[in-house]
């Protein structure tokens, strides 16, 4: 089976950036048994003179998806929880709703993965085949990064819907 990492496409240079993500949503709480510690609705204020390009997937500060991508995720994980996030740009009088998916963390990261010296970023992702769950989408356990993986069928479903700003990178399996 083939698997793909879902990330924000770096070609979208005007994607929203918000500075206070860490203060408002602690990454440690983005698991089902701790999600109650995250507010049901969180507002992030955007700034800058440029008009933000509200793409379907944001993964730089937090892993956030639009309503349509959320619906695609639910096709593969019907019980997946989400927290609502509002990105507002007061100067431009714009707002976009995103959703923070609350995935179980799966320990399937291989020792063959290539990481930065401080192990904060996975440069080349390798998964252990025996530990991969039988789910269309899952999150790889990592202390610093949010790594969301799609099985081939889920990746194809995402590609068919022509989402903007979604990048799929094929993952090696050992």
The 10s digit of each residue's pLDDT in 22-52 is 788 988 899 999 999 999 999 999 877 788 8
Residues in Cβ contact with 109 at an 8 Å cutoff, skipping those fewer than 6 apart: 122, 125, 126, 127, 128, 140, 141, 142, 147
The 10s digit of each residue's pLDDT in 106-158 is 999 999 999 999 988 999 999 999 999 999 999 999 988 999 999 999 999 99
Beta-bridge mates of residue 146: none
Count of domains observed in the chain: 1
Residue 86, pLDDT score: 96
Measured distance CA(9)–CA(23) in Å, rounded: 25
Measured distance CA(57)–CA(11) in Å, rounded: 13
Which one-letter DSSP state was computed for residue 118?
A: T
Q: Is the pTM of this model over 0.75?
A: yes
Domain boundaries, position 105 = 3-173
């Amino acid at each position: 089976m083939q698997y793909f990492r879902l990330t924000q496409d770096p070609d979208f240079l005007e994607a929203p950036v918000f500075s206070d993500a860490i203060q408002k949503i602690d990454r440690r709480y983005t698991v089902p048994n701790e999600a109650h510690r995250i507010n049901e609705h969180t507002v992030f204020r955007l700034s800058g003179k440029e008009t933000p390009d509200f793409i379907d997937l944001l993964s730089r500060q937090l892993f956030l998806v639009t309503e349509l991508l959320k619906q695609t995720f639910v096709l593969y994980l019907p019980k997946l929880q989400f927290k609502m996030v509002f990105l507002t740009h007061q100067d431009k009088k714009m707002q976009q709703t995103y959703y923070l998916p609350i995935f179980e963390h799966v320990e399937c990261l291989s020792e063959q993965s290539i990481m930065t010296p401080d192990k904060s970023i996975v440069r080349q992702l390798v998964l252990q085949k025996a530990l991969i769950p039988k789910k269309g989408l899952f999150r790889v356990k990592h202390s610093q990064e949010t790594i969301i993986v799609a099985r081939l069928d889920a990746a194809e479903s995402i590609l068919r819907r022509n989402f903007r700003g979604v990048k799929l990178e094929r993952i090696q399996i050992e």
